[in-house]
Amino acid sequence: MATVTSSFHFSTLTQSSQRNFTLSSNSPTFRFRVGFSCHYLGVRASSYASKMVVRCSSSSVTDPPTVSETKLNFLKEYKRPIPSIYNTVLQELIVQQHLMRYKRSYRYDAVFALGFVTVYEQLMEGYPSDEDRDAIFQAYIKALKEDPEQYRVDAKKLEEWARAQNSTSLIEFSSREGEVEGILKDIAERAGGKGDFSYSRFFAIGLFRLLELANAMEPTILEKLCAVLNVNKRSVDRDLDVYRNLLSKLVQAKELLKEYVDREKKKREERAEPQKTNEAITQQFSSL
C-alpha cells in the first residue's frame, strides 16, 4: 500500500513552541514542546506581640483545570471520531488555548473570538459534515468553560461591522460611537495598561480579518490600527507570518490526503471489478 507523508514545522498560536506534524496513511505522529511558567504565591508571616498575621494573594478562588481535564471535557462533549488530519491540530490548539485561557491576565474579547473563529473555519474547511463541524466547535469552546454562541455572535458582529468600513474609518473608531467601536475602545484602554489584557496570536488574526473585510490591507493601515489599539505591531507581523505559513501547510496536507483517498478508492473499485464479473458469471450458470 502506498504511503503519503507530509511533514512541516510551524509555531503554535501562542508565544513560543515548535512541533513536527507528520501525516501518514497509517498512524500520524505529532510532537510538540510547550513552555510555560508557574507563578507561586508568596506568603509572608509577621508576629506582633503574640499575634501572627499571614498575608497571601491569589488570582482566583479555585485552581484552574489542568490541560488533561480540558481535553477530557472536549472528549465528553464530542464523542464521535474525528479524522486524524483535523484531530491532530485540534488537540494541539486546545492545549495552546487552554494556556491562554487560564493566564492571570486573560480576559475574553471579541477580536480574540474573531481570530479563533477565523482559524477554526480555515482548519475545518472541507470537513465531511457541516453539522459535525459545528458540534466540534461547540465542544471545543465548552471544554474551555466559555460560551460558543458568544464566540459566534461576536465574530459575526465584527465581520459585519468591518465590511462597512474603509481604510480611514477603521482606524478612526475612537472618534465614533457604536457597539463595535465601544469594544475596540475597551481593548485599547486595557492594552494601554488600564486593565487586564493578554495579547495572543488569535488576537492578531482577528485584527487581520478586520483589515481583510474592510479591504484595507495596506501595511500602513495595520500599523495605525495597532497604534490606536496600543498593540505591538512587531508581534502582530510575526504572528501573522506564522498564521499564513500554517494555512499554506494545511492546504498542502489536505491536498495530499485527498489524493491518497482518491487513489485508495480507485484501487478498491479495481479490486472489486473482477469479483463482480465472477458473480455475474456464476449467476448466469445458476440460471441454466
pLDDT at 66 over 60: yes
CB-based burial label for 279 (10 Å; 0-12, 13-18, 19+): exposed
Separation CA 174–CA 200 (nearest Å): 22
- 221 and 211 Cβ atoms separated by less than 8 Å: yes
pLDDT for 7 equals 36
pLDDT of residue 244: 84
Nearest to 134 by CA among 110, 109, 151, 114: 151
Instruction: Determine the average pLDDT of the residues in 161-171.
Output: 95
- Closest alpha carbon to 187 in 243, 118, 114: 114
* Amino acid in position 172: E
Residues comprising the chain, all counted: 288
Instruction: Give me the phi and psi of 31, to 5 degrees please.
Output: -120, 135
Model confidence at 123: pLDDT above 80: yes
Mean pLDDT over 83-109 rounds to 91
CB-CB contact of 162 with 213 (8 Å): yes
Q: Are 32 and 12 in contact (CB under 8 A)?
A: yes
Q: Which residues contact 145 (CB under 8 A, 6 or more apart)?
A: 65, 73, 101
The confidence score (pLDDT) of residue 281 equals 60
Q: Cβ distance 228 to 171 under 8 Å? A: yes
Rounded CA separation 60/106 (Å): 12
pLDDT band at 284 (very low <50, low <70, confident <90, very high): low
Residue 219 has a pLDDT of: 87
Whole-angstrom distance, CA of residue 164 vs CA of residue 284 = 69
**pTM (2 d.p.):** 0.70
Rg (CA), the chain: 25
DSSP letter at 63? P
Please list, in sequence order, all residues whose beta carbon lies within 8 angstroms of the beta carbon of residue 192, skipping any fewer than 6 positions away: 230
Instruction: Please report, rounded to a whole number, the percentage of residues in the chain having pLDDT higher than 90.
Output: 53
Euclidean distance between CA atoms 203 and 201, whole angstroms: 5
Low-confidence winner among 56-60, 126-130, 135-139, 283-287 (lowest mean pLDDT): 56-60
Cell representation of residue 282: 456464476
